[in-house]
Amino acid sequence: MGIRKKYIVGFIVILITFGFLVYRGMDGAMMVYVNVSELDTQDANKENETLQVAGIVEPGSIESNSSTRQISFMLQDLNKPDYTLKVNYNGIVPDNFKPGIQVVVQGVLDQKNKVIKAEQILVKCPSKYQEDTKS
């Protein structure tokens, strides 16, 4: 086999491996990202699939039990405050979690009861950047 051919074969093998890795990696790492008001759309409606829901922690809605670490609150749509979703979470909340803050809740949605069981709560993290001064 000529040297050129060897390289071509080598490169193709690597490219296929990469393609396979990217394909494999995407599977299971992709999450639909919606706002609270978009929960009824088809993309958010898949059973037992983890998704991310963005919204605001409704002030006055946080109920926590520090001995069990259970916390629940209402997630409110960023622009349409009528849309809300109940969030149940069991874990340590991020540092800057507080009423009125914008968060992304990652978890599995129970569409019937309008509840999401959160696996993770991501707070819009201001590290490295400026504070949101609009408020």
Partner 1 sequence: MIELGQIGLMLSFVLSLYALFVSLIGIKNRSGQFLVSSHRAFDSSFLLLSISVFVLGQALVTKNYELRYVADHVSNNLPAFYAFSALWAGQAGSLLFWAWLLALFTIIVIRQNRNKNLELMPYVNATLAGILIFFLFLLVFFTNPFEKLGFAIANGQGLNPLLQNPGMIFHPPTLYLGYVGFSIPFAFAIAALITRKVDSDWITSTRRWTLFSWLLLTIGIILGAKWAYVELGWGGYWGWDPVENASFMPWLTGTAFLHSVMIQERKSMLKIWNVSLIIITFLLTILGTFITRSGIISSVHSFGESNLGYIFMLFLSTSILFSLYLILTRQEELRSRNKLDSFLSRESTFLFNNLILIGAAFAILWGTLFPIISEAVRGIKITVGPPFFNTITVPIGIALILLTGVCPLISWRKASINNFLRNFVIPVSVFAVALIFLFVMGIRSIYPLMSFALIAFVLTTVFMEFYRGVRARMHYDANVFIAFKNLLFKFRRRYGGFIVHIGIMLMFIGITGSSAFGTEKEQSMKKGDVLKIKNYELTFMGVDQFKTANAEAISATIKVKRDGEDLGLLHPSKHYHELQKQTMTEVAILSDYKEDLYLILGSVTEDGAAFIKAHINPLVAWIWWGSYVLILGTIIAMWPYRKRSKESQMLQGTEKQSQQSLTYQTDKETV
Residues binding partner 1 (CB under 8 A): 3, 6-7, 10-11, 14-15, 17-18, 21-22, 24-26, 28-34, 43, 52, 54, 64, 66-69, 92, 95-96, 98, 104, 122-134
Instruction: Tell me the β-bridge partners of 52.
Output: 33, 106
Query: If phi over 0 gives left and psi between -120 and 50 gives alpha, with beta otherwise, what is residue 45?
Result: alpha
Distance CA 131, CA 25 (A): 34
**Residue 10 or 81 with smaller CB distance to partner 1:** 10
Least distance from partner 1 to the Cβ atom of residue 89, Å: 12
**Residue 21 or 111 with smaller CB distance to partner 1:** 21
3-state class (DSSP) for residue 57: strand
